[in-house]
Each structure stands twice: as structure tokens, then as C-alpha cells.
Chains A and B, each alone.
Chain A
Amino acid sequence: MPDKRGRFSGYGGQFVPETVMPALAELEGVYNKLKNDPEFQAEYARYLAEYAGRPTLLYYAEKLTRHYGRGQIYLKREDLMHTGSHKINNALGQALLARRMGKKCIVAETGAGQHGVACATVAALFGMECRVFMGKEDMERQALNVFRMRLLGTEVVPVTSGSGTLKDATSEALRYWVTKVRDTHYIIGSVVGPHPYPMIVRDFQSVIGQEVKQQIKQIKNAKLKYIVACVGGGSNSMGIFHPFKDDSAVKKIGVEAAGRGIDTGEHAASISSGKPGVLHGALSYLLQNKDGQVIEAYSVSAGLDYPGVGPEHAAFKDTGVAEYVTVTDDEALAAFKMLSLTEGIIPALESSHAVAYLEKLMPMTNADEAVVVCLSGRGDKDVQQVAQIMGGL
């Protein structure tokens, strides 16, 4: 749990304008009550099960396991969730929260469009007005998701300020929220932003790890040794890591995007090569230049393209709860192809980073060890982009 000031080992906090401080206090108060309210939790669980498709499968990837010939590989199939990724877990939870607070409008930011689509979906479901800020460049990269959001009745607002990507979309969403704070709830899409957001998003995403904890008990001939998940802002990884936080026998490995290579400067590896700084309301590892200006992140995967990272990940890094590694664009693209060919599962480019790390991890494993990979989303949204990179179909 974060401390009273919303800090995880010093990281986090509430670096936002005074105008939204009362709204954060309200959100924290309502959330802390609902967290232990059986009726609210039952409502949330019902929507997750009946609408969104939980629990998701923990699939034994037999062919992939054979390919490496060492430990057993299991895929946590968040890609099978409604709307195609784990993002719906948080969007549903926060929309229910907003409803309890009597807020009728939703604002959100999106990078790849997965969180935007999840918010547009729950807004349609609950009859809420929804506005999603999206970088202009991302809108071009992810045109299909833009159309999906609009089809669901959401207004997608292009962001051209700064560099026109997720970072700027988040700033715009925050600015909009400051303006409309009285009747609007901001559904932040990852374990980032000011307290209490990193805690709330983590709690809603923890369902992933809690299910794994139950599901892994069914496996008789191996014990869980590794959990691997990609880290952009860090919501799917925090969701699957957190329930295993105190279990040091299970190694948690977060995979950041190395883009074109860490030494090229074109990457999104905030933990691996950033320094502590404040962006979007929280103190955490941050990509910044020698004058403290935030550097634009780069990754082939729009969902990992964020210069910051959730503050609890920063704490996990410093305290050794989890370790953080990097995977390049090329390695992720190779994994994208490989999982498609070996298992008939097309992963999202974000999740492909986690899959790609198996190349390095698997040779170190033994046959009686289980490796769980969080397959946070499906790759349908990425096929057009990958086709272009690979030089056509």
C-alpha cells in the first residue's frame, strides 16, 4: 500500500494543480469506502465475468515450451478479454466508481487506443459521455481504434501539442479534467498519475495476478518460478506482479521497450535508463534530458511509448521486488511472428515484448519450472503496421 501521502518508497505523490486536489481527495475517499464494500465488489465482479469475459485462461503453450525445450510456458490470456486487452479491467472498475460519485462524463487519454476503446465501451454500456484525447500521430498509426471509439459514441480529440503522442494526450486529458472537474471523472489508463490513481488502477488490474495464483495450483508437475510482463506505464505488469509481491520465490520480470536500442536514444525504457523526475502528477523514473525536459519516448509499440512509468514500479525496482529488462523493436517483431506461427495466437506488439524475453529467459529454466507470460492484448490492431514494416503481406 502507498503511505498517507500516496508514496511507494518515496515515489508517487500528488504533483498537480490545486484545482484538482479536492477531486483527488474525493476520489480517494469514495474509493477507500467502496474497496471494502461487498456490494460494489460484487457488482464489479459481475461485470467482469458476464460482460468482459473473466476469468481469462491460463493456457499451457505446449509448442512454445517444446521450442525452447526447458521450463513450461503458460500464457495469461488477457488478449481474450472484451475489447482485446486487459485495459477493460480498469475501465470497468473506474466507470463504476464514477457512477457512484455521480459523475456523468468520462475523460481519458490513449496511446495505442486500447484504453480509449475500453473507456468508449464502458461509457456506451453505462450511458456516459466520453471524450478521449489521442496524439495525432497515434491516431494515424491506430486508425482502426479511432473508428471503433467513434462507433461507440466517443469523441476522439486529436492532440498536436508537444510531440503529439501519449505523453501529450495525457497532459491534454489532465488539462481538460482540470477544466471540467466538477462533473467529469478522469479514467487514467495505467498505474501512473497522481495518488490515488496508481493504487486504484493497480487494484483493478490485480485480478490478473489473483487469477494466476489460483490457476497455477492446478499445475502439478511444475512450480511457478517466473512471471514476465511488458511495461509501458505498467498496468498489466503491476496487475500480474502485485499479488506475488511478497513471494520472493516467484521472480517478477518487467520488460521495457528498447526501441531501436538503448544506446540510440530512441527507446521507451524509463526504468532502465531514466532518472527520477515528476511527470503527470507523480515522481517516478522518467526519460529526461540534461536540463530536465521530458524526452519523447519511442517504441514500435504505441502502447509502450511513454517516457514515464508507474511509481510503484519505481519502488519495485529500487527494493528489488521485480527486475526490469529491455527488448528491442526487432526482437519484439520476431516474437510477434513466432507466437503467431507456433501457437496460432497473434499477440499485441506490447505483449510481444514480454514474449520476446523468453529467448533470454528460457535457457536458464528447468523442466519443472513454470513461466507465466502476461499476454496483455491481441495483435489485431497491429497487423496493418506490422505488414508495412515487413514489406507487405
Chain B
Amino acid sequence: MSALAKRLIERKNKGQKGLIIYLTAGYPDMETTLEAVLAAEEAGADLIEIGIPFSDPIADGPVIQKAATEAIKAGATTAKALDLIKKIRAKSMIPLAAMTYTNTILHYGPAAFMRDFGAAGMNGVIVPDLPLEEADLLAGVCKEQAIDLIQFIAPTSTPERINAVSKVASGFVYCISTTGVTGVQAVNYQPIAAAIEIARKTIDIPVAIGFGIGTPVAARQAAKYADAVIVGSAVVKQVGTIGVTGVKDLVQAIRTELDREGD
């Protein structure tokens, strides 16, 4: 079974919710990202998304955009992100998914990317500008390397699309909490909750909900609809303002709130 699914199912079996944390590789530098990953794991994260910065991240809001711009300016490259994943793997077995845009992978070469990142210890890849219609660009090479190509469901997804996504999904399904970009708070979970309900009929892999979940309270609220929550912009903001201890504190607070008994 996929390492990503396995970890989230272990949580589920304990009656708990999974916690997925996003960090931009190289923001403000690779050493800090490495420390932040280890701190997040220690504070209770189940899975880490490593964002490989791209110059034009159309699915990201201001916080992650700025982190990507600054990381690139500070010298972050795809090769250095690969090196970061190797370094994380040397110290931790936490499941890892790379999150980046199509052009980054296309430029590196899809087969080479999956081979190198897979060998380094990456378990999955999340590409927000690669919808189902274009997924064949990576599906074959991901399969060869046993890497999960994470699929998305949005509040606007039709039942036909949800079913089509369900057929090919592996690892977990990334459910977008609200129409919009990352880091903008979701106010109405009903459309995505309805979409998740449809998806549940055909899939047995875990469902994670992300976009705009930035506080322990928001995480608990969103977790009602899914097996795991994804927190990105809020964590990246902590990196930029407070540093690694800020990441640790926020992840711990979210973990505590998710595990709290009662309503």
C-alpha cells in the first residue's frame, strides 16, 4: 500500500484525523526547511508536502507566492529540492509528497523527475495545474516508480468528474475546501462536503481537505468532512515571521485541537 495512504489510514483506525503540512523548499533557505520538516513531524504532522518553487504558481495565494518568489531569489532550484528530500530521508521516515507545477516537472523531464525524486524518498506528487485531462503526462512514469499522483476534487467538480477522479486516485484525494487559491479562508464547506460524499461511494483511500485552513479551530471544523486536513499558507507564514519554533507551535496546536475529545 502507498506510504501516504498507509499513514493516514493508521490515524483513521485510531479514530484520529491526519495532519498534512506544506512547506516551501528553500524559504528562507534549505537548512530552515529541513529543520521545519523535522519540527513539524515531532509536533504531530503525518505527512509533509514539499513545495518546489515555481515562478508562476496560479493556484497559490499571496503567502505561498511570496515564499516561492523569495526562495527562487535565494537560489532554490529543483535540484536543491531533490537534495533536501534526500536529507529529510536520512533523518526521518515521514511520508513525503512534492508539490509543484507542471512546467517544473516538464522541464526536468517527467521520467527523470519521478526516477530521481522517487529514489530520494518522495512518495507522492501533487501538481495543482494538472487536472485529470492532462494527467497522462505523469501517470505512467509515476506508476513505474510507485509514486502516488494525487488527484483533486473541487467544490465545482461535477459528479461525473468526481467519479472519473475516483477511478484513478491513489495515496489520498486532495479536496479543495473552497473555490479560490491557497491561503484564503474557507467560509462554506457545504459544496466540498457534498462532493466528498459522492467520492466516498467509490473510493476507499483517505480524503484530505485543504486550502484556507489556517488555525486549530478551522482545522477541527474542516476535519469533520475528511480523514485529514492540509495546512499550508499558515505554516509558511510562521516560517517567515517566527521561524522553525513558530512551525512547531502551530502544528502542535492544530494536533492538540484535532485530538481533543468532544464537539
Residues of A within 8 A of B (CB): 5, 13-23, 161-162, 167-168, 171, 174-175, 178-182, 276-281, 283, 286, 288, 291-294
| Residues in chain B near residue A22, CB distance under 8 A | 154, 156-158, 161
B56-A17 in contact (CB<8A): no
Determine if B34 is an interface residue (Cβ-Cβ < 8 Å): no
Q: A277-B107, A278-B101 are in contact. Are A178 and B179 (CB under 8 A)?
A: yes
* Contact of A17 with B103 in the complex, beta carbons under 8 Å: no
User: Cβ of B102 and Cβ of A15 under 8 Å apart?
Assistant: yes
Is B78 in contact with A292, judged by CB distance below 8 angstroms?
A: yes
Q: Which of B66, B69, B107, B134 contacts A288 (CB 8 A)?
A: B107
Chain B contacts for A291, CB-based, 8 A: 77-79, 107
Instruction: List the A side residues contacting B152 at CB < 8 Å.
Output: 17-18
B103–A288 CB distance below 8 A:
yes
User: Known contacts being A17-B152, A21-B161, is A162 close to B129, with CB within 8 Å?
Assistant: no
CB distance from B126 to the nearest CB of A (A): 12
Alpha-carbon distance A161/B56, docked complex (angstroms): 10
| Given A21-B131, A21-B161, A162-B55: A292 in contact with B179 (beta carbons within 8 A) | no
What's the A-B contact tally at a CB cutoff of 8 Å? 121
| Contact between A178 and B131, CB atoms less than 8 A apart | no
The docked-state distance in angstroms from the alpha carbon of A252 to that of B54 is: 35
Say if the beta carbon of B59 comes within 8 Å of chain A.
Answer: yes
CA distance A175 to B179 in the complex (A): 10
Bound Cα distance A168, B132 (Å): 25
State which of A23, A281, A292 has its C-beta within 8 Å of the C-beta of B129.
A281
In the complex, B104 has a CB within 8 A of chain A: yes
How far is A171 from B103 in the complex, measured between Cα atoms in Å? 15
Which one of B66, B103, B155, B158 lies within 8 Å of A19 (CB-CB)? B155
Contacts of B140 in A (CB 8 A): none
User: In this complex, what residue of B is CB-closest to A296?
Assistant: B55
Chain B residues with Cβ under 8 A from A293's Cβ? 54-55, 72
Contacts of B184 in A (CB 8 A): 179
List the B side residues contacting A174 at CB < 8 Å.
58
> Is B263 among interface residues, defined by CB-CB distance under 8 A?
no
**Which chain B residues border A23 with CB–CB below 8 Å?**
156
The 8 Å CB contact of B62, one of A16, A161, A179, is A161
CB neighbours (8 Å) of B66 from chain A are 161
A182 and B47 CA atoms in complex are apart in Å by: 33
Chain A residues with Cβ under 8 A from B57's Cβ? 171
Partner of A294, one of B103, B154, B161, B179: B103
Q: Nearest Cβ distance between residue B118 and chain A, in whole angstroms? A: 19
Q: Which residues of B contact A (CB under 8 A)?
A: 54-59, 61-62, 65-66, 69, 72, 77-79, 101-104, 106-108, 128-134, 152-158, 161, 165, 176, 179-181, 184
Given the interface pairs A18-B157, A161-B62, the reply to whether A178 lies near B103 with Cβ below 8 Å is: no
Known: A18-B154, A292-B106, A293-B72. A13 touches B58 (CB 8 A): no
Q: What is the bound-complex CA distance between A34 and B23, given in angstroms? A: 45
Instruction: Indicate whether A167 sits within 8 Å of B56 (C-beta atoms), given known contacts A15-B134, A21-B133, A277-B107.
Output: yes
Bound state CA distance, A181 and B54, in angstroms? 24
Additional pairs, 11, CB under 8 Å, beyond known A18-B132, A161-B65 = A17-B58, A18-B154, A19-B156, A19-B176, A162-B56, A171-B56, A178-B58, A178-B179, A181-B179, A292-B78, A292-B108
A286 to B107, CA, bound (A): 11
- Evaluate contact between A162 and B69: CB separation under 8 angstroms: yes
Cβ-closest chain A residue relative to B108: A292
Name B181's contact: one of A16, A178, A292 (CB within 8 Å): A178
Across the interface, which residues of A come within 8 angstroms of B180, CB to CB? Answer: 19, 175, 178-179
Q: How far is the CA of A174 from the CA of B58 in the complex (A)?
A: 7
Which 6 A-B pairs give the minimum distances between C-beta atoms?
A: A292-B107, A18-B152, A19-B154, A179-B180, A293-B55, A278-B103
In the complex, are the beta carbons of A17 and B62 less than 8 A apart?
no
Smallest beta-carbon distance A192→chain B, Å? 13
State which of B54, B61, B128, B133 has its C-beta within 8 Å of the C-beta of A17. Answer: B128
A selection of 21 A-B contacts at a CB cut-off of 8 Å is A15-B130, A15-B134, A16-B131, A17-B129, A18-B153, A18-B157, A18-B161, A19-B180, A161-B65, A162-B55, A167-B56, A171-B58, A175-B61, A175-B180, A175-B181, A178-B58, A178-B181, A180-B179, A292-B103, A292-B108, A293-B55
Given A22-B156, A22-B158, A181-B179, the answer on whether A5 and B133 have CB atoms closer than 8 Å is yes
Asked whether B129 lies within 8 Å of A277 as measured between CB atoms, the reply is no
- B178: shortest Cβ distance to chain A, in Å? 8
- Shortest C-beta distance, A9 to chain B (Å), equals 16
User: In the assembly, what is the distance between CA of A88 and CA of B129, in Å?
Assistant: 30
Residues on the A chain within 8 Å of B154, using CB: 17-19, 21-22
Question: Please, how many angstroms separate the alpha-carbon atoms of A293 and B179 in the complex?
Answer: 26
Give the shortest distance, in Å, between A30 (CB) and chain B (any CB). Answer: 15
Which of A19, A162, A175, A277 is most buried by chain B, counting CB atoms within 10 A of its CB? A19
Known: A17-B59, A174-B58, A292-B108. A181 touches B156 (CB 8 A): yes
Say whether, besides A179-B181, A181-B156, A279-B56, A17 and B107 are in contact (CB < 8 Å): no
Compute how far the CA of A178 lies from the CA of B128 in the bound complex, rounded to whole angstroms.
Answer: 12
Q: CA A276 – CA B106 in complex, angstroms? A: 9
Q: Does B133 lie within 8 Å of A14, measured CB to CB?
A: yes
Choose among A175, A180, A292 the residue that contacts B58 (Cβ–Cβ < 8 A): A175
Nearest Cβ in chain A — how far from B147, in angstroms?
Answer: 19
Bound-complex Cα distance A162 to B172 (A): 32
A181-B179 Cα distance, complex, nearest whole Å: 8
Closest chain B residue to A179 by CB distance? B180
Give the docked Cα–Cα distance between A21 and B151 (Å). 13
Closest-by-CB residue of A relative to B176 is A19
Q: Which residues from B are CB-within-8-Å of A288?
A: 103, 107
User: Are A279 and B179 in contact, CB atoms less than 8 angstroms apart?
Assistant: no
Q: Report B112 CB to chain A, min CB distance, Å.
A: 12
